[in-house]
Amino acid sequence: MTNFGEAERTMVPFKALAEAYEAFTQTRLADAARILEELVDQSPYDRNAIRLLHAAYSGLEDGIRLQSLDDKISNHMPWYSDVEFRIATRLLQMGQVEAARERFDRALNMPLSMGPTRMLPFGEVSEARILHDLGYINYMRAEGELSSGPYDECAGQLAEIACQFTEGVKTVRLSAQQLTNIAPIYRRCVHLEDVAVPDEVINRPALNDALARFRAAPDCEKVVWFDGLLTDNAIDELRRYLLKSSIWHNDGQKGLGYLGAYETNGLRHPIMDKLVAEIEHCFYGALGSRKVSQLWCYKNVVGSVGVGVHADFSNVNLNIWLTPTQFNLDHESGGLLVYHAKAPEGWAFEKYNGDHDAIRDIVNGAERSIVTYRENRAMIFDSSLFHASNGVKFENTYQAGRINLTFLFGQR
């Protein structure tokens, strides 16, 4: 016998969700939020409603309701890692470093596949992942930071796994025993370094001058660079944070030679918040309301190919290199090539970010700017301009990995 009562109960949330979605797409965010709040009250496990409500609150810039939504979801679904990462990020931004670390660590270890994006599947590892974690343990042990015992055993196992990466092997699937042996480090947030936030983090006159040059440049030549964006204190503290904090979790990038650190899993330390605020202030003064829409760090661990020619999904890119210049073994490489050629308006993300043949047709014969590598050199360029790194040959030690910090402004 058909249970109509059950069917009706299922249909009502769908109808409400559809209404909320319609309100959301018409940017009636308050209406969408009102419908969704009721829905989430009735069915606190409905991930579609939760995601949409989160997006509505974000659009309304309602930080207080965002926070209480996350706390509520965390009570109902303590295994929902998206929420745990957000709560951890908030704790970090408030300077509660140890509480944030515990929360990140828990979120990274959740068995369901709702972890950070651009991560390899659980149990599948790249050479970069293994060499990085091995280098991290050795570096931290030398700094007197991690206890002996479990981490020494981990290091031994990681060194053995590293030998499995013979020519042509891209990833390795770990055995249950290997996973057990590296459990203290694999997908863990074992340490967040508590660094100071200097009073001055950027050189404002230098940034303002570069932004004025950027604004004045012709349409297809909007690329400028300059040295010393970060103050000496800021770059020292930031580098210490990036070297000592286990935040390099995004290991599924193209080529697999890089690891990424994203703001949702540990990059949003108060020093980064201050950087964002100061940089946004200058961008606003020079270019109108330009908000940082995304930020990330990438670190090269293995290979020398670098990132291929692509354009990005933002309006403007600001890139800063953070690794000391002395680690760059080949001064002809390590930098950035920016072509004076833009991704055509109608191209979708997949095309301007990865269709190598189509991109080659556009950049062939185009003028290009070559920005050579230097620590604390900043580049500002139109994100639609095709760009690529021109190879990476840095010293092969943990501290020497080439790190770039990227801020993306607006949407393409």
Residue number of the CB closest to Fe ion reads 312
Nearer to Fe ion, 32 or 336 (CB): 336
Nearer to Fe ion, 107 or 279 (CB): 279
Q: Rounded to the nearest whole angstrom, what is the least distance from the CB of residue 310 to Fe ion in the complex?
A: 6
Q: Which listed range, 72-80, 236-244, 285-293, 304-312, lies at the site for Fe ion (CB under 5 A)? A: 304-312
Tokens of 351: 């095309």
DSSP 3-state of 314: coil
Q: Measure the CA angle with vertex 24, ends 18 and 28; round to 5°.
A: 120
If one asks whether residue 105 binds Fe ion (CB under 5 A), the answer comes out as no
Nearer to Fe ion, 40 or 362 (CB): 362
Instruction: Tell me the torsion sign for CA atoms 110, 114, 119, 125.
Output: positive
Q: Rounded to the nearest whole angstrom, what is the least distance from the CB of residue 115 to Fe ion in the complex?
A: 24
Nearer to Fe ion, 88 or 408 (CB): 408
Q: Is 91:102 a contact under the CB 8 Å cutoff?
A: no
Q: Rounded to the nearest whole angstrom, what is the least distance from the CB of residue 188 to Fe ion in the complex?
A: 29
Nearer to Fe ion, 115 or 306 (CB): 306
Q: Rounded to the nearest whole angstrom, what is the least distance from the CB of residue 181 to Fe ion in the complex?
A: 37
> Residue 274 region, left (φ>0) first, then alpha (ψ -120 to 50), else beta?
alpha
HSE on the CB side for 64, CA within 13 Å?
0
Q: Rounded to the nearest whole angstrom, what is the least distance from the CB of residue 256 to Fe ion in the complex?
A: 17
Q: Which listed range, 87-95, 207-215, 308-316, 372-380, lies at the site for Fe ion (CB under 5 A)? A: 308-316
Q: Rounded to the nearest whole angstrom, what is the least distance from the CB of residue 389 to Fe ion in the complex?
A: 9
Q: Which of residues 184-213 bind Fe ion (CB under 5 A)?
A: none
> What is the maximum span of the chain, computed from C-alpha positions, in angstroms?
76
Specify burial of residue 90 (Cβ count, 10 A radius: 0-12, 13-18, 19+): middle
**d(Cα 29, Cα 24) in Å, to the nearest integer?**
5
Kindly determine how many residues on this chain lie close enough to bind Fe ion according to the rule CB under 5 A: 1
Residue with tokens 């010393």: 228
Nearer to Fe ion, 79 or 349 (CB): 349
**d(Cα 143, Cα 145) in Å, to the nearest integer?**
5
Q: Rounded to the nearest whole angstrom, what is the least distance from the CB of residue 391 to Fe ion in the complex?
A: 16
**Which residues lie below 8 Å from residue 177, measured CB to CB, with a gap of 6+?**
none
Nearer to Fe ion, 312 or 382 (CB): 312
Specify burial of residue 183 (Cβ count, 10 A radius: 0-12, 13-18, 19+): middle
Q: Counting every residue, how long is the chain?
A: 412
Residue with tokens 């020497």: 400
Q: Rounded to the nearest whole angstrom, what is the least distance from the CB of residue 383 to Fe ion in the complex?
A: 7
**d(Cα 234, Cα 222) in Å, to the nearest integer?**
27
Nearer to Fe ion, 312 or 375 (CB): 312
Q: Which listed range, 53-61, 142-150, 306-314, 390-398, lies at the site for Fe ion (CB under 5 A)? A: 306-314
Q: Rounded to the nearest whole angstrom, what is the least distance from the CB of residue 388 to Fe ion in the complex?
A: 8
Q: Which listed range, 72-80, 87-95, 229-237, 310-318, lies at the site for Fe ion (CB under 5 A)? A: 310-318
Nearer to Fe ion, 193 or 312 (CB): 312
Interface residue with Fe ion among 84, 237, 251, 312 (CB under 5 A) is: 312
Kindly list the residues in this chain that would bind Fe ion in the complex (CB under 5 A).
312
